[in-house]
Chains A and B, each alone.
Chain A
Amino acid sequence: MPNQTTTAESFVERPQTIAALRTEIAAGRTRAADIAAQYYERIERLNPRLNVFLSLTKERAFEQATRIDASASRGDPLPPLAGVPMGIKDVLVTRGAPSTAGSKILQGYRPPYDCTAVARLEAAGAVLLGKTNCDEFAMGSSNENSAYGPVRNPIDPERVPGGSSGGSAAAVAANLAVAALGTDTGGSIRQPASFCGVVGVLPTYGRVSRYGLIAFASSLDRIGPLAANVHDAASLLGIIAGHDPADATSSPAPVPDFAAESDKPPAGLRIGVPAEYFGEGLDPEVRAAVEMGIAALESAGCAIKPISLPHTKYAVPTYYLVATAEASANLARFDGVRYGYRSANSATLSAMYSHSRDEGFGAEVKRRIFLGTYALSAGYYDAYYLKAQQVRRLLAEEFMRAFAEVDAIVTPTSPFPAFKLGEKTGDPLAMYLADIYTVTASLAGICGVSVPCGATRTGLPVGMQVLARPMGESTAFRVARAVEAAGI
């Protein structure tokens, strides 16, 4: 009998694909419990510096791993994600285990139910290692807004991993998990994926149930996977996608075999390159890397077509009105009454509300609640929130007109690679402008993938964003897979 712990140890040294892991377990060459133990050992070594995980769910992980191992030794067919160690962003509720949303206001909170996406991963055999760090209530682009300290980019620990799903992206990049779940409201899966050199998926709005996602902006929030390669990301989406009666906004559209679709060659696809995403403010090294990716697509038989999306410049202001307005409504529930932080020594109920929220929320969260409340207030609603919803319609229609001419649109995911910790924290507006290439897809409800596409001279990862029409993830995966195969 081969020494399975040694096999697990060497297995975990290099990032593995979901399929390779599952094959090893099914063949009896390694055990899911040993793999999990090895990942926990890596986490113990690397987490103090990187601050990727906020809490670990060891009991649950080993119970699952033991179940998988028992199936394997009986020779039963294994579920699609058998033994795959995963990190779960802390805005997704996990029954009985801490779910803080990166905030002090939910410190110690243990939800009484599971997020649907999490439950589906577990039903497919995934081993949930723990909860990953994130910007507070998913509000941020650098993971510096977490009440539990920033996450450090594994590529360069003096730099941010991106946000708000910084912990999930860093977990995959540092091989502290084989894959992770993140959430994306304005770019929070795609941008950290690009900063950390991993694949991140923005599913179409409604593709994945939001049940169990601690809400930030209900018309923008999406749950999506992060993984080390396109095929795995596509497999994961296939597991979590699909209608859920518990989410009235979840779509009844059938779920394709995304993994199989992602392997199809992209020849014949029409790729749109929008001028507005390649203008002023784009780092020259990012531009060069993405242009190499576009050239690779052309060599692979794609037709490259310049297009224009003239309303792009209005996306960031639109987003920061819509998202903050919705956040002000969604965060009203954190009042110290039923769960979470309650301020001590409040003489009256209203004092308890204001003290709990003042003491429990961080500065960025407060900023957005103030903005959103103002944008919705009497006398300002039409000028701000309604106006933003109208511009949103224009942005969505602009994309739909483009998708009549092209099958996918490619852009840089971010105007720059990972910046240094502390570099943008002094200027909130500068931080908001980091989202310029990602908020458009969020507002329009369309889907996309960020795929690694080269690096800067100093080795900082660059990401290419591939956007597709609503429910068109298969096309986005095909294009992303081709960029990945080109090995920029």
Chain B
Amino acid sequence: MVRDLNAILDYVAELNELDTSSVVPLAQMSELSGGAIAALRADQVGPSLDRAVVMQQAPETDQAFFKVPKVIER
């Protein structure tokens, strides 16, 4: 794994051949296709997932909460 990761990191270092000092990073693809960036919906409360349905998929639950091993290590 480490050998593979190092080989990949060596390979991606090729990007340093390029001078990008005056280039604005491209982070939001929506700007390319005429969409709004971070289009937000109206702040209105609406229905969400049914708790009982969601809990059917939970590894361990009391039907109200997801149960996990102790959080605080003592």
Q: Residues on A close to B: CB < 8 A?
A: 109-113, 204-207, 219, 245, 248-253, 311, 313-314, 317-318, 320-321, 336-342, 346-352, 363, 366-367, 370-371, 374, 383-384, 386-394, 396, 428-429, 432, 444-445, 470-471
Query: Considering the chains assembled together, what is the distance between the CA atoms of A245 and B44 in angstroms?
Result: 13
Q: Are A371 and B5 in contact (CB under 8 A)?
A: yes
Contact B30 A387 (CB under 8 A): no
A206–B14 CB distance below 8 A? no
Task: Kindly state the separation between the CA atoms of A428 and B23 in the bound complex, as whole angstroms.
Answer: 30
What's the tally of chain B residues with a CB closer than 8 Å to chain A?
47
A337, closest chain B residue (CB): B66
0/1 interface trace, chain B 8-27, chain A, CB 8 Å (1 if under): 11011111111010011111
Nearest residue, chain B, Cβ from A444:
B32
Residues B23-58 near A (CB distance < 8 A): 23-30, 32-36, 38-41, 49-50, 53-54, 56-58
- Interface of B toward A, CB cutoff 8 Å: 1, 4-5, 7-9, 11-18, 20, 23-30, 32-36, 38-41, 49-50, 53-54, 56-60, 66, 68-71, 73
Closest chain-A Cβ to B53's Cβ sits at a distance in Å of 5
Interface pair A250/B35, CB less than 8 Å apart: yes
Q: Assess the B15–A251 pair: CB atoms within 8 A.
A: no
Across the interface, do A206 and B20 meet the contact criterion of CB distance under 8 Å? no
The minimal Cβ–Cβ distance linking A21 to chain B, given in whole angstroms, is 33
Q: In the complex, A337 Cα to B59 Cα: how many Å?
A: 7
Complex contact A251–B57 (CB within 8 A)? no
Cβ-closest chain A residue relative to B31:
A445
A112 touches B38 (CB 8 A): no
> In the bound complex, do residue A204 and residue B33 qualify as a contact, i.e. CB atoms below 8 Å apart?
yes
Residues from chain A with a CB closer than 8 A to the CB of B57 are: 109-112, 338-340
B73 and A348 within 8 A (CB): yes
Of the residues B14, B30, B54, B68, contact of A112 by C-beta under 8 Å: B54
Set of chain B residues within 8 Å of A111, measured between Cβ atoms: 57
List of A residues within 8 angstroms of B11 by Cβ: 317, 320, 429
Chain A hits for B13, CB < 8 A: 317
| A170 shortest CB reach to chain B, Å | 28
B29/A389 in contact, CB under 8 A: no
- Distance between Cα atoms of A384 and B25 in the complex (Å): 12
Of the candidates B14, B71, B73, the one whose C-beta lies within 8 Å of that of A317 is: B14
A367 and B32 in contact (CB under 8 A), knowing A314-B18, A321-B12? no
Partner among A317, A352, A367 whose Cβ is within 8 Å of the Cβ of B68? A352
CA of A112 to CA of B56, assembled, Å: 9
Give the interface SS of chain B, mostly helix, strand, loop or mixed: loop
- Would you mind naming 25 contact pairs between A and B with Cβ atoms under 8 Å apart? A110-B56, A112-B54, A113-B49, A207-B33, A245-B41, A251-B33, A311-B18, A314-B14, A339-B58, A348-B69, A351-B69, A352-B68, A352-B69, A367-B8, A389-B25, A390-B23, A390-B26, A391-B18, A391-B20, A429-B4, A445-B32, A445-B33, A470-B32, A470-B33, A471-B33
Known contacts A349-B68, A391-B15: A248-B26 contact under CB 8 Å: no
* Smallest CB gap from B33: residue in A: A470
Interface-central residue, A205, A387, A388, by most chain B CB under 10 Å: A387
Task: Establish whether residues B29 and A342, one from each chain, have CB atoms under 8 Å apart when the complex forms.
Answer: no
Residues of A within 8 A of B24 (CB): 390, 393
Flag if B18 contacts A338 (CB, 8 Å): no
Chain A proximity of B38: nearest CB distance (Å): 7
Q: How far is the CB of A472 from chain B (nearest CB, A)?
A: 10
The 10 closest A-B pairs by CB, nearest first: A389-B25, A342-B59, A390-B20, A393-B26, A317-B12, A390-B23, A470-B33, A339-B57, A251-B35, A445-B32
Q: A206, A249, A251, A336: which contacts B59 (Cβ < 8 A)?
A: A336
Distance in Å: Cβ of A207 to nearest Cβ of chain B: 8
Question: Whole-angstrom distance between the alpha carbons of A205 and B70 in the complex?
Answer: 42
CA distance A367 to B6 in the complex (A): 11
Q: Are A205 and B33 in contact (CB under 8 A)?
A: yes
Is B20 within 8 A of A248, CB to CB? no
- By a CB distance below 8 angstroms, the chain A residues around B16 are 383, 387
Q: Tell me which of B8, B32, B58 contacts A338 (CB under 8 A).
A: B58
Chain B residues closer than 8 Å to A445, beta-carbon distance:
29, 32-33
Residues of A within 8 A of B15 (CB): 314, 317-318, 321, 387-388, 391
Q: Complex: how many Å from CA A390 to CA B29?
A: 13
Known: A252-B35, A320-B8, A338-B57. A219 touches B29 (CB 8 A): yes
CB-CB under 8 A from B26, the residues of chain A are 389-390, 392-393, 396
User: Which of A205, A394, A429 lies in contact with B8, CB distance below 8 A?
Assistant: A429
**B32 touching A396, Cβ below 8 Å:** yes
Selected contact of A347 from candidates B49, B53, B54, B69, CB within 8 Å:
B69
Q: Is the CB of A206 within 8 A of B70?
A: no
Contact A386 B1, beta carbon cutoff 8 Å: no
CA distance A444 to B1 in the complex (A): 30
